[in-house]
Structure 1
């Protein structure tokens, strides 16, 4: 975190101005002689610096008992400096922006630290353009909580819309709830990476979210258009693939957002493979939410821990039906075909008509299945 002096210098004060202002804020009304001693600056330098603080409206002077004393302005007056800077920038911004935007050549710049991230967010607001985000977990809500919140408030007022394709993990879903004017789609979390792509207007930006963030900013209309078309195709797609244990747990978490999950051909694989996850996370959450499983299951399920789950309603399919590693999950408007290989894979389709058809099929199987 920057020191008080560093913040004041960033605001436009010199090192000496920041030093004397802070001394007066902490010491109150002070004589010039006191400031000489406390600051270690030469007499002439102190007087010159106090004069500059007066011009900036950050200090005043008065005669008290025949002695000249100096008093700091309230710290809230620092905000006026910030506004003056902003006003000055806004006056030249239109002409500079016209020059920058008219330049058709590709430009690439690499920035390090949080300043690069802030630049991109300010650029989105200044262009007042919708944007797309691919990958990541909304880490900006963690690394720049206040700045990101203000950014979202401003873009909401400006009507700037956003679309996010985020990794399907609980943290990302929780953060997404507080982001206004945005549509979300969650994707297979088994390919976790520090890279997050943003695209807007003719910009393509890669955020590398490591200890010191790296921002690669590319200005190229053709590249941005190509990326956005690919993003649109992925965002509008009704199918996704989830892989591995991380992907299966993401699907399980997704089911908890609905009142029930229907299974066709369940064999108890999930509770068997992920016993600790069920004990500590899934089962407590399901009980709290009142979520229920209805499973038209294979007979093999009777020998697994799945039968002990308190929210699990099981009926057993006829023994004549052959065993299969495929299990159909139905929840909300989603249907997942889960294949329990050594590394499991699931094919998820989100469509109300498909989900309705599978629900009807489930009801037929449920009626012929054997009660436990």
Structure 2
């Protein structure tokens, strides 16, 4: 129980003294000292802190203090008081955090699991533009794209895809156009909302995701230009 009380915000000595008083009932400092193994001076300091927290009270009997534990429900009240105290702070921090998140970000991802994070982020968007779709994507992530395309279809997220390999076809909710093979490139660019994901489809894939409205708008303009050229 001592460990749980520490997690609730009590110090080690406070936990020992409170538990001792629950066991002993109203007790003198000397009795608490013998029960806990703590020095009497420490008992007085600790009970003073517990009194301030409302976890311990005392009665005077023959001019001597008998300490007693308060109802354990007081522990819940302390936690609620802390929640009430910290809630406005959390709200303030959350606003600052969200305002920071609105600013541009650049995140790097490596490996198959990192790439899955990138594609799952795209499932929160309205439309995805893919420049340079490669069959290597299916080689690297294999069955993952079946789940991804199914999820995208369920969420009704459309995609426009520019590829060089005509083996890429019949992808749900997707328009596909093709460029000549001479434009084949291991790097693909996925544009969605205000984000641009630059993906290198290597054996150990790498992705850079840039959150920036101007950069995303620039890549969208370039995509639309290539879309007109593609067949």
Shorter-chain TM-score tier: 0.5 to 0.7
The correspondence for 1:354, drawn from 207, 215, 218, is 218
1:66-123: CA deviations, max 9, x gaps? xxx864334539999xxxxxxxxxxxxxxxxxxxxxxxxxxxxxxxxxxxxxxxxxxx
**Maintained 8 Å contact 2:188/2:198:** yes
Quick check: 1:296 aligned with 2:173? no
CA RMSD between the two structures:
4.9
- Matched length: 205
2:89 paired residue among 154, 162, 165: 154
Q: Deviations over 1:161-204 (max 9, x none)?
A: 4xxxxxxxxxxxxxxxxx555326241033xxxxxxxxxxxxxx
- Mapping of residues 6-17 of structure 1, within 5 Å: 10=11, 13=14
Aligned residue number for residue 182 of structure 1: 100
Distance 1:10 1:308, change over 3 A: same
Quote the offset at 1:309 in angstroms. 3.9
The residue number in structure 2 matching 1:241 is none
| Residue 137 (structure 2) pairs with residue 276 (structure 1) | no
- Which residue, out of 159, 169, 174, partners 1:307? 169
* Structure 2, unaligned runs of 5 or more: none
1:73 aligns with 2:70: yes
1:3 aligned onto 2:3: yes
In the TM superposition, residue 360 of structure 1 has moved relative to its aligned partner by 2.5
SS at match of 1:358: helix
Shift of 1:361: 1.1
Contact map agreement 1:54 1:60 (CA 8 A) in 2: no
Match of 1:262 in 2: 129
After superposition, residues 158-177 of structure 1 pair within 5 angstroms as: 161=96
Distance 2:114 2:76 in 1: 50
Local SS of the residue matching 2:11: helix
Alignment match of 2:19 (pick from 18, 22, 43): 22
How far apart, CA to CA, are the structure 2 residues paired with 1:365 and 1:188?
31
Report the TM-score, using the length of structure 2 for normalisation.
Answer: 0.58
What are the ranges of 5 or more consecutive residues in structure 1 without an aligned counterpart? Answer: 64-68, 81-145, 162-178, 191-243
Higher RCO, 1 or 2 (CA under 8 Å, sep at least 6)?
2
Q: Does the alignment pair 1:60 with 2:58?
A: yes
* SS of aligned partner of 1:182: helix
Residues 343 and 182 from structure 1, CA distance in 2 versus in 1: closer, same or farther, beyond 3 angstroms? same
| Contact preservation (8 Å) 1:60, 1:73 | no
